[in-house]
Structure 1
Amino acid sequence: MTYERPWYRWYVLFILTLIYAFSYVDRQIVTILAPYLKKDMGISDAQLGLLYGTSFALFYCVFGIPLARLADGWSRVRTLALGLSFWSLMTALSGLARSFSQLGVARIGVGVGEASATPAAVSLLGDYFERSRRGTVLALYSVGVYVGAGASLIVGGSILSTWEHAYGKGHGVAPFGLVGWQATFIGVGLPGLLFALIVLLTIKEPVRGRLDAVAAKKDPHPFGSAMRSLGAMVPPWSWMHLKALGASRREYVRNWTYLLFAVLLVIFATWGTNHVLSASRKAEIGSVFGLSITSNLVQWIAIAVAVYVCSNWFQATRLGDASAHRLITGSRPFVAVTVAGAFLAFAMNAVNGFVFVYASRTLGLTAQAGLHLGIIAIIAGGAGIAVSGYLCDYAKRKHPFGRLYFVCFTASVFTGASVIQYLTHSITVFYCAYAVATLFVPMWFGPLQATTQDLVIPRLRGTAFAAFSLGPNIFGLGLGPYCVGLISDATGDLRLAILCGIAVLPVSIFSLLVASRSLLKGEEAARAELAAADAGAIEEASIGLPIEQLT
């Protein structure tokens, strides 16, 4: 078959990496457009953090689990192509936004579409490359992160400069009355629609689990499984799902406790953040029934919803999918690695979300800085991810915990370089420190993703990635940029805000050390689960219900 040819799997890896880059272009484009969005829409730094992180991350997480289930049970290629088409379209529609609310809705659509991409891609790569190369392959795939992030700065800056030169003041009327940032959204969004066709026409769907001891059984109702996964997260369907699982009264009490915690989180977190900001810094989004809605209220409602729906999923998984609970939600090393990834993503997004805003505001750099930062991001970030794959696999061969220790080292170097970057007043030192930080910050992607994949069986690969992504996205992306923006608004000091954002290194290292204590036991549990599946003892479909009840 075509997918068994040696060269073809490297072609698939190349295409999947480009898709990942496309996703990061659409995700990160807000970074370079931030000064123009602030000027035209009058939004605050906290709202920028909400726009860059929370509005995207919430729906990325909520839809990540059901779309991962769809990828695990349906065609991963088709799932990928549909998601790419949808998020590209929503990015283009962002260029038609006339208000902060409209732009926020479009960003939600980008998050929903992108939620389908990496679970499907990771699952595909698991059937194209053997386990011994998993760290290297996933690291090469993750090169797309910084290719996309750098390209967003380069392409975004180029479109902005070209548009301003052609249609700036006194240079003529722009097509459809679009300003530079609107043209940029449209320019980076539309090519993704064409690329989705390339995916459908050139990538073949391999047999699931073909490189493992046993091929995974197909889900006869993949869309039903995906909808059940979504229903298990969102009330009132989540309560109906608990009833179908025969949940005890204690489980219902537990569920209502989750809801109470979410409500209290909104109340106290919103009160606390509003309390530290002066009235002039409380940016309003609008009003409902005469009640003012601040960006802080929207932020904490979004976080509370994410926490609640993910808690529902964990509960439903624990009750209805024994394999997923043992290997994912109930696995100590898996949870510890997810926590480490969450704090590493928090620091990374604290730096990346405001790097151009900081450079233009504090160091006086112009839009040309976007080109410089983009080139550095592509070269240094791409090289860092690519090299990390080989190094972490080498470290794994030398020591059972080698990948985790490798991440401890690289995260420490990134933190030190970032401190220098945001304390210096020299533009040259700023660029050099940014290059070092960018080289090391992405080195946790491949090692931690490979670690989580080693802890699960083939039919749970996409789900495992989606579950792992909850921490980096809800906490890292959802709170990182927002907290930096909030501190900046409260203190008027963006440098202090960013330094606070990267001061989480000790938590990440502690979590990785915790994971190392039970890593071997977790890998052994995955091997035992695979052996049981091979014997036909464990055959479950989607979250919550066995195949017999689905047919």
Structure 2
Amino acid sequence: MSSLPPSPDITQIPAEPGVKPRLEPDGDAAASPPAPGRRAWVVLVILCFVYVLNFLDRQLLSILAKPIQDTLGISDSQLGLIGGLYFAFFYCFIAIPVGWLADKTNRVGILALACAIWSAATIACGAARNYGQLVVARMTVGFGEAGGVPPSYAIITDYFPKGRRGTALGIFNLGPPIGAALGIAFGASIAAAFSWRDAFYVLGGVGLVAAIVVAVFVREPKRGGLDAPNPELASEPSGFWVTLKMFFSHKALMLAALGSGATQFITYGLGNFTALFLMREKGMTLNEIAVWYALVVGIGMSAGIFTSGWAIDRFTRISKRYYALIPAASLALCIPFYIGFVWAPGWQLATLFLIGPSFLNYFYLSSSVALVQEEVRPDQRVMSGALLLLVMNFIGLGLGPTYVGIASDLFRASFPDNSLQTALYTLVPFYGLAIALFLALARVLAREEAKQGGAS
């Protein structure tokens, strides 16, 4: 018995790695992108877990700032430097050669090795007996974490097709809120029951196991396997300096990076001192931090990052300008909540106001990452992601906590009981700067769309 011939207006879309095949009418440009397969989701879960550990290890110092200060006798300025500039120096600049190497070699192998390095360094943080040893250990954590996020961005982009990447990267970017929440709950509970050193030992050990899981269970996807064919890749492979020049001369990418950096100046400046602020100036205990602060960060940040990923996939189908308009709007809405948090006379009201910044401060992340991954060639994605992190993390992670720590020490003479509160108030103008940069990015993207529309 012969089978019926296929319908002339139906085309089967071939299955790419990690993507289910689908049927689609010929020429239907508006059709939904193919659904990712099971392997893509498994890889996403593993990479998200590694990101949780990445951020958890990074934030543990700020969460346990009070007992660490009591043990090692370090000041707010020293705490800001070790959590900011010292860490960011290695984290930002090592990411560039690591990103270039990952674009040319096996991204999964580099991710697994990086996870092992930062986890071993986390254990060394727990063993530190003085400020100098802690500085060296934290800088080594930064060295390892430099190879964590950029390869993950590129791996996810090659497992998920265009139109699904905003959601996938939004889920991946749940790593920071989940890591922060678990770090607060776990770190504060362990420190209250045992010692702050034990928290570093346990989390470092978990990271070493995670490195093995990545090496065994994550397959290296084909670079650009889910993108439209690009003849440039065969005739003109990109090099280190080509990618570097492309990124820093690309107005949209630079505005996205600078807007993200201005936002991170606030988020890291606040985040590295929130637990200390709530304990020292608002009267919270470690056990209360472990419950209430953990819930606010875990739920608020997770909801914000997931919502932003969904919104990006939905609205950027209408216009690329929403890569910029979505974070600009979220930051404008956040300002009164942030001021309320800093002003609140007690920790109960402060944590209630903190829900707003926890939800609204992080819409920029998935937006900027997705824009960069969409704008560059497949063989430039890891290094471009690393360059994005270089700019935004050097400004935000490097300078934000450093600034707040120094400002708090400077204000201590005039405001001995609320120097941190005064320092945190001075972050408000950076909201205006970040909003202005994202609005400038929206204008650039609008002009690009107009040119493309005129050319077509």
Report the TM-score when normalising by structure 2. 0.86
| Residues 60 and 114, structure 1, Cα contact 8 Å, conserved in 2 | yes
1:351 aligns with 2:366: no
| Residues 47 and 485, structure 1, Cα contact 8 Å, conserved in 2 | yes
- Work out which of the residue numbers 187, 205, 210 in structure 1 matches 2:220: 205
Q: Show the counterpart of 2:159.
A: 128
Determine the C-alpha separation between the residues in 1 that align with 2:387 and 2:340: 34
Q: Shift of the alpha carbon at 1:396?
A: 1.4
Kindly provide the amino acid, as one letter, of the partner of residue 430 in structure 2: V
Kindly provide the amino acid, as one letter, of the partner of residue 284 in structure 2: L
Determine the C-alpha separation between the residues in 2 that align with 1:101 and 1:119: 29
Question: Deviation digits for residues 193-220 of structure 1, max 9, x if unmatched?
Answer: 01111111111111111011237969xx
Kindly provide the amino acid, as one letter, of the partner of residue 351 in structure 1: L
Secondary structure, counterpart of 2:228 in structure 1: coil
Taking a change above 3 Å as real, the CA distance of residues 409 and 141 of structure 1, as seen in their structure-2 partners, is same
Percent identity reads 29
- Work out which of the residue numbers 335, 343, 348 in structure 2 matches 1:423: 343
User: Which is richer in helix?
Assistant: 1
Question: Deviation digits for residues 484-534 of structure 1, max 9, x if unmatched?
Answer: 1111101111101011124211111111122222225668999xxxxxxxx
1:43 aligns with 2:58: no
Question: Deviation digits for residues 402-424 of structure 1, max 9, x if unmatched?
Answer: 12111111112222211100101
1:91 aligns with 2:106: no
Determine the C-alpha separation between the residues in 1 that align with 2:451 and 2:108: 30
Determine the C-alpha separation between the residues in 2 that align with 1:464 and 1:429: 41
Structure 1 gap ranges (5+): 164-179, 230-316, 527-551
1:152 aligns with 2:78: no
Secondary structure, counterpart of 1:98 in structure 2: coil
Q: Show the counterpart of 1:310.
A: none
Taking a change above 3 Å as real, the CA distance of residues 390 and 2 of structure 1, as seen in their structure-2 partners, is closer
Q: Shift of the alpha carbon at 1:130?
A: 1.1
Determine the C-alpha separation between the residues in 2 that align with 1:68 and 1:86: 16
1:360 aligns with 2:375: no
Aligned pairs (5 A) from 1:324-343 = 324-326=244-246, 328-343=247-262
Question: Deviation digits for residues 70-124 of structure 1, max 9, x if unmatched?
Answer: 2111111111100000000000011111110110000011001111111110110
- Work out which of the residue numbers 496, 513, 517 in structure 1 matches 2:443: 517
| Residues 3 and 204, structure 1, Cα contact 8 Å, conserved in 2 | no
Taking a change above 3 Å as real, the CA distance of residues 525 and 368 of structure 1, as seen in their structure-2 partners, is farther
| Residues 455 and 522, structure 1, Cα contact 8 Å, conserved in 2 | no
Kindly provide the amino acid, as one letter, of the partner of residue 111 in structure 1: G
Kindly provide the amino acid, as one letter, of the partner of residue 186 in structure 2: V
| Residues 19 and 160, structure 2, Cα contact 8 Å, conserved in 1 | no
Q: Show the counterpart of 2:305.
A: 385
| Residues 348 and 502, structure 1, Cα contact 8 Å, conserved in 2 | no
Kindly provide the amino acid, as one letter, of the partner of residue 106 in structure 1: A
Q: Name which of structure 1's ranges 97-106 and 432-441 shifts more when overlaid on structure 2.
A: 432-441
Secondary structure, counterpart of 2:74 in structure 1: coil
Shift >4 Å, 4+ stretches: 215-218, 520-526
Secondary structure, counterpart of 2:364 in structure 1: helix
| Residues 342 and 476, structure 1, Cα contact 8 Å, conserved in 2 | yes
Q: Show the counterpart of 1:499.
A: 425
1:458 aligns with 2:370: no
Q: Show the counterpart of 1:540.
A: none
Q: Show the counterpart of 1:262.
A: none
Aligned pairs (5 A) from 1:46-61 = 46-61=77-92
Q: Show the counterpart of 1:397.
A: 317
Determine the C-alpha separation between the residues in 2 that align with 1:58 and 1:419: 30
| Residues 455 and 523, structure 1, Cα contact 8 Å, conserved in 2 | no
Q: Shift of the alpha carbon at 1:438?
A: 0.4
Q: Show the counterpart of 2:392.
A: 472
Kindly provide the amino acid, as one letter, of the partner of residue 367 in structure 1: L
Taking a change above 3 Å as real, the CA distance of residues 190 and 136 of structure 1, as seen in their structure-2 partners, is same
Q: Name which of structure 1's ranges 339-348 and 512-521 shifts more when overlaid on structure 2.
A: 512-521
Q: Shift of the alpha carbon at 1:391?
A: 1.2
Determine the C-alpha separation between the residues in 2 that align with 1:522 and 1:58: 34
Secondary structure, counterpart of 2:361 in structure 1: helix
Aligned pairs (5 A) from 1:106-117 = 106-117=137-148
Secondary structure, counterpart of 1:504 in structure 2: helix
Q: Shift of the alpha carbon at 1:139?
A: 1.2
Taking a change above 3 Å as real, the CA distance of residues 339 and 140 of structure 1, as seen in their structure-2 partners, is same
How well do the aligned residues superpose, as a CA RMSD in angstroms?
A: 2.3
1:191 aligns with 2:206: yes
| Residues 150 and 378, structure 1, Cα contact 8 Å, conserved in 2 | yes
Secondary structure, counterpart of 1:213 in structure 2: coil
1:376 aligns with 2:296: yes
Kindly provide the amino acid, as one letter, of the partner of residue 406 in structure 2: L
1:408 aligns with 2:328: yes
Kindly provide the amino acid, as one letter, of the partner of residue 27 in structure 1: R
Secondary structure, counterpart of 2:429 in structure 1: coil
Question: Deviation digits for residues 275-322 of structure 1, max 9, x if unmatched?
Answer: xxxxxxxxxxxxxxxxxxxxxxxxxxxxxxxxxxxxxxxxxx3xxx1x
| Residues 356 and 369, structure 1, Cα contact 8 Å, conserved in 2 | no
1:18 aligns with 2:49: yes
Determine the C-alpha separation between the residues in 1 that align with 2:448 and 2:434: 20
Report the TM-score when normalising by structure 1. 0.72
Determine the C-alpha separation between the residues in 2 that align with 1:524 and 1:331: 17
Taking a change above 3 Å as real, the CA distance of residues 524 and 99 of structure 1, as seen in their structure-2 partners, is farther
Q: Shift of the alpha carbon at 1:365?
A: 0.9
Question: Deviation digits for residues 406-461 of structure 1, max 9, x if unmatched?
Answer: 11111122222111001011332211111121011111110111112222111111
Secondary structure, counterpart of 1:8 in structure 2: helix
| Residues 63 and 272, structure 2, Cα contact 8 Å, conserved in 1 | no
- Work out which of the residue numbers 169, 174, 197 in structure 2 matches 1:182: 197
Taking a change above 3 Å as real, the CA distance of residues 522 and 330 of structure 1, as seen in their structure-2 partners, is farther
Determine the C-alpha separation between the residues in 2 that align with 1:522 and 1:112: 37
Taking a change above 3 Å as real, the CA distance of residues 125 and 523 of structure 1, as seen in their structure-2 partners, is farther
Question: Deviation digits for residues 354-374 of structure 1, max 9, x if unmatched?
Answer: 111111111111101321211
Determine the C-alpha separation between the residues in 1 that align with 2:434 and 2:56: 27
Determine the C-alpha separation between the residues in 2 that align with 1:91 and 1:370: 22
Kindly provide the amino acid, as one letter, of the partner of residue 76 in structure 1: R
Taking a change above 3 Å as real, the CA distance of residues 98 and 341 of structure 1, as seen in their structure-2 partners, is same
Determine the C-alpha separation between the residues in 2 that align with 1:364 and 1:123: 43
Determine the C-alpha separation between the residues in 2 that align with 1:401 and 1:157: 41
Question: Deviation digits for residues 343-393 of structure 1, max 9, x if unmatched?
Answer: 000011121111111111111111013212112211111111111111122
